[in-house]
Amino acid sequence: MTVTADALSSLHDVLDASAVVSDPDLMASYLHDEAEWAPYGTPLAVVRARSTAEVQALVHWAIEHDTPVVPRGAGTGLSGGANSLAGCVVVSLDRMNAVREIDPLERLAVVEPGVINDDLRKAVAEHGLWYPPDPASSPWSTIGGNVATNAGGMCCVKYGVTRDYIRALEVVTGTGEVVRLGRRTAKGVTGLDLMGLYVGSEGTLGIVTEVTVRLLPLPDPGHTVIGYFDDLAGAGQAVRDVAAQGLTPAALELVDRVSLQAVDDYAHLGIGGEANVVLIGRFDDAGEAGAAGAAAMQKAFSGAGATFTAEAADSEEADAMMAARRLAYPALERLGDVLTEDVCVPKAAVPQMLEQIAAIAARYDTTIANIAHAGDGNLHPLMITERGDEAAKARAQDAFTAIIDAALAAGGTVTGEHGVGLWKRAGMERELGPQVVAMQRAVKAALDPHGILNPGKAI
Amino acid sequence: MTVTADALSSLHDVLDASAVVSDPDLMASYLHDEAEWAPYGTPLAVVRARSTAEVQALVHWAIEHDTPVVPRGAGTGLSGGANSLAGCVVVSLDRMNAVREIDPLERLAVVEPGVINDDLRKAVAEHGLWYPPDPASSPWSTIGGNVATNAGGMCCVKYGVTRDYIRALEVVTGTGEVVRLGRRTAKGVTGLDLMGLYVGSEGTLGIVTEVTVRLLPLPDPGHTVIGYFDDLAGAGQAVRDVAAQGLTPAALELVDRVSLQAVDDYAHLGIGGEANVVLIGRFDDAGEAGAAGAAAMQKAFSGAGATFTAEAADSEEADAMMAARRLAYPALERLGDVLTEDVCVPKAAVPQMLEQIAAIAARYDTTIANIAHAGDGNLHPLMITERGDEAAKARAQDAFTAIIDAALAAGGTVTGEHGVGLWKRAGMERELGPQVVAMQRAVKAALDPHGILNPGKAI
Per-residue pLDDT of B23-79, as tens digits, reads 999 999 999 999 878 999 999 999 999 999 999 999 999 999 999 999 999 999 999
Query: How does the average pLDDT of chain A come out, rounded?
Result: 95
Q: Which long-range contacts (CB under 8 A, 24 or more apart) does B398-401 make?
A: B398/B364, B399/B360, B399/B361, B399/B363, B399/B364, B399/B366, B399/B368, B400/B339, B400/B341
Residue A176 and residue A120 share a domain: yes
DSSP A188-204: --SSS-HHHHHTTSTTS
What percentage of chain A reaches a pLDDT higher than 90? Answer: 92
CB-based contact A179 B435, cutoff 8 Å:
yes
Q: What is the pLDDT of residue A194?
A: 98
Q: Select the highest-mean-pLDDT range: A283-292, B141-150, B237-246.
A: B141-150
Per the structure, the complete domain to which residue A201 belongs is given by: 99-217
Residue A148 and residue A9 share a domain: no
Closest Cα of chain B to A86: distance in Å? 23
CA-CA distances (angstroms) from residue B2 to A419, B23, B63, B350?
A: 55, 16, 20, 56
Query: How does the average pLDDT of chain B come out, rounded?
Result: 95
Residue B224 and residue B213 share a domain: no
Q: What is the pLDDT of residue A273?
A: 80
Task: Count CB atoms within 10 A of the CB of residue A42.
Answer: 13
Q: Give the domain CATH number at A36.
A: 3.30.43.10
State whether residue B25 is helix, strand or coil.
helix
Per-residue pLDDT of B103-128, as tens digits, reads 999 999 999 999 999 999 999 999 99
Residue A156 and residue A286 share a domain: no
What percentage of chain B reaches a pLDDT higher than 70? Answer: 100
Residue A1 has pLDDT above 60, yes or no: no
Residues of chain A contacting residue B182, judged by C-beta atoms under 8 Å apart: none
CB-based contact B347 A443, cutoff 8 Å:
no
Last residue of a domain, one of A189, A217, A245: A217
CB B178 within 8 A of CB B172: yes
Residue B299 and residue B265 share a domain: yes
Residue B293 has pLDDT above 60, yes or no: yes
Residue B1 has pLDDT above 60, yes or no: no
Per-residue pLDDT of A202-261, as tens digits, reads 999 999 999 999 999 999 889 999 999 999 989 999 999 999 998 999 999 999 999 999
Q: What is the pLDDT of residue B233?
A: 86
Q: What is the pLDDT of residue A128?
A: 95
Q: Give the domain CATH number at B296.
A: 3.30.70.2190
Let me know if residue A29 belongs to a domain. yes
Angle between helix B52-64 and B2-14 (nearest 10): 140
pLDDT band of residue B199 (cuts 50, 70, 90) is very high
DSSP B242-290: HHHTT---SEEEEEEHHHHHHHHHHH----STT-SEEEEEEE--STHHH
Q: What is the pLDDT of residue A145?
A: 98
Residues of chain A contacting residue B447, judged by C-beta atoms under 8 Å apart: 439, 442-443
What mean pLDDT is predicted for residues B225-247? 93
Q: Report CA dihedral (A39, A45, A46, A51) to the nearest 10 degrees.
A: -140
Residues of chain A contacting residue B346, judged by C-beta atoms under 8 Å apart: 105-106, 184-185
**B189 → closest Cβ in A193, A200, A373:** A200
Let me know if residue A421 belongs to a domain. no
Q: What is the pLDDT of residue A191?
A: 96
Q: What is the pLDDT of residue A271?
A: 83
Closest Cα of chain B to A128: distance in Å? 9
Residue B110 and residue B202 share a domain: yes
Q: Give the domain CATH number at A153.
A: 3.30.465.10
Residue A97 has pLDDT above 60, yes or no: yes
Q: Which of A3, A2, A41, A4 is nearest to A22 (CA)?
A: A4
Closest Cα of chain B to A94: distance in Å? 24
Residue A302 and residue A240 share a domain: yes
Residue A202 and residue A86 share a domain: no
Let me know if residue A440 belongs to a domain. no
What mean pLDDT is predicted for residues B16-24? 96
Let me know if residue B117 belongs to a domain. yes
Per-residue pLDDT of A102-149, as tens digits, reads 999 999 999 999 999 999 999 999 999 999 999 999 999 999 999 999
Residues of chain B contacting residue A377, judged by C-beta atoms under 8 Å apart: 185-187
CB B422 within 8 A of CB B172: no
Residues of chain B contacting residue A106, judged by C-beta atoms under 8 Å apart: 243, 346-348
Helix or strand holding residue B325 (H, E): helix B315-326
Q: What is the pLDDT of residue B270?
A: 83
Residue B115 and residue B57 share a domain: no
Q: What is the pLDDT of residue B112?
A: 98
Last residue of a domain, one of B182, B217, B252: B217
Q: Which of A261, A233, A267, A276 is nearest to A374 (CA)?
A: A233
Per-residue pLDDT of A284-330, as tens digits, reads 988 888 999 999 999 999 999 999 999 999 999 999 899 889 899 89
pLDDT band of residue B288 (cuts 50, 70, 90) is confident
CA atoms B51, B57, B58, B63: torsion sign: positive
Residue A98 has pLDDT above 90, yes or no: yes
Q: What is the pLDDT of residue B198?
A: 98
Residue B173 and residue B231 share a domain: no
CB-based contact A201 B192, cutoff 8 Å:
yes
Nearest chain B residue to A201 by CA: give it: B192
Q: Give the domain CATH number at A303.
A: 3.40.462.10
Let me know if residue A274 belongs to a domain. yes
Residue A137 and residue A54 share a domain: no
CB-based contact A244 B443, cutoff 8 Å:
no
Task: List, in order, residues 6 or more apart from B71 with CB less than 8 Å away.
Answer: B82, B90, B91, B92, B93, B144, B148, B203, B207, B208, B453, B454
Let me know if residue A457 belongs to a domain. no
pLDDT band of residue B260 (cuts 50, 70, 90) is very high
Number of compact structural domains in chain A: 3
Closest Cα of chain A to B22: distance in Å? 32
Let me know if residue A432 belongs to a domain. no
Residue B225 has pLDDT above 90, yes or no: yes
CA-CA distances (angstroms) from residue B20 to A439, B46, B261?
A: 30, 6, 43
Last residue of a domain, one of A92, A108, A130: A92
Q: What is the pLDDT of residue B372?
A: 96
Q: What is the pLDDT of residue A214?
A: 97
CB-based contact A187 B156, cutoff 8 Å:
yes
Q: What is the pLDDT of residue B2?
A: 66
Q: What is the pLDDT of residue A2?
A: 66
Q: What is the ipTM of this complex?
A: 0.96
CB A153 within 8 A of CB A135: yes
Residues of chain A contacting residue B161, judged by C-beta atoms under 8 Å apart: 187
Let me know if residue B157 belongs to a domain. yes
Nearest chain B residue to A104 by CA: give it: B244
What mean pLDDT is predicted for residues A26-43? 94
